[in-house]
Structure 1
Amino acid sequence: MRRSALLVLFLATGLHGLPARADGDVQTPRVQAALAQAQAAEVGRGIGKNLMLAMALYCDAGTMGSGEGFFHVGRVLASAPRALRNPGLANSYLALATRLGNTQALQYYDPRVDNVLLGDPCGAFAAGLHTQSFDIEAYLSRQPRARQKIAASIRSAARQYKVDERLALAIALVESNLDPAVVPEGGAQGVMQLATAARQNSGGPRIVDGEQDIRAALAYLGQLHERFAGDWRSMATAYDAGAGSVGRCGAVPPHPCLETRQYVRRVLYFAGASPGEQPGVARQAPAAARSPHRGGVADKRADLPCCG
Structure 2
Amino acid sequence: MTLSKKKQFLCLLFVLMALHICTIPVVKAKTYQDPIVQMSQAAKNGQITAQVELATAYEHGEGITKDTSKAIFWYCKAALKGSTDAQRNLAWMFLNARGVEQDEALAVRWFNRAAKSGDAYAKKILAQLDQSLQTNKTICIKLPTAYWETKKCTRHCQKTVQLVKEIAPAYNIDTRLVLALIQQESNFKSTALSHKGAMGLMQLMPQTAKRFHVKKVWDPKQNIQGGIRYLSWLLKQYKGDVRLSLAAYNAGEKAVERYKGVPPYKETQNYVRRIIKIYGQNYHPFEKNISMLK
Is TM > 0.5 for Structure 1 vs Structure 2?
no
Normalised TM-score (structure 2): 0.45
Q: Which has the higher contact order (CA 8 A, sep 6+)?
A: 1
- Which has the larger Rg? 2
